[in-house]
A and B are shown apart, each in its own frame.
Chain A
């Protein structure tokens, strides 16, 4: 099973600042990587798939990069609605696995 490790666990950011969230895979997952946003009491929402492709309706301030074992989700200028937990998921190898999440909180 591929282990996905996200860092940091918590990121304190001021509105308008840039946030970089990291996701590392225990072995190569090529570009088969998705990012989700989850707010309290809600289901996760798909932001990015294929490591860098935004889902329909996702603002351009969200971008994904990386391949192989190292991935980054960047939020270029944090808005109030972006404070949430973010998960990465590898879609390369069964079972599909998730990282433990990064909580983005208001500084």
Chain B
């Protein structure tokens, strides 16, 4: 079945970087955009940006420009999100999600289970 499997929970110190993976299966990886979002404890959903798995092109929201890097490895159908300069307010569950269609501006029909990233000294 179509699924996105994310890497496990991480604990990082302030200033460090974290890299989260998202392995896709059950569909053609290069057809659909992968978006990354996060959700701080008890809070709502926040979009970070997307990667086009076909071209490798990316688009980041202004808030994360300069701190986030999204990449992919088509040979293993896996997308990655790396966030640098971690602060305590980066503590959140990070999700990858696949677009419903082959467009970047669309709803997200398949989500990973989320990766908890805790930033603490």
- Measuring CB to CB, which residues of chain A are less than 8 angstroms from any residue of chain B? 32, 34, 36, 42-46, 49, 55, 87, 89, 91-101
Contacts and interface: CB of A to CB of B under 8 A. Distances in A.
Given A43-B113, A95-B61, A49 B45 contact: no
A91 B105 contact: yes
Interface in B28-63: 35, 44-47, 59, 61-62
A55 B87 CA distance: 37
Contacts, number: 52
Contacts of A91: 105-107
B70 to A, nearest CB: 14
Interface residues on B, range: 20 to 34
A94 B109 contact: no
Given A43-B111, A87-B44, A94-B59, A49 B106 contact: yes
B9 interface: no
Contacts of A87: 44-45
Contacts of A55: 100, 109
Contacts of B100: 46, 49, 55
B80 interface: no
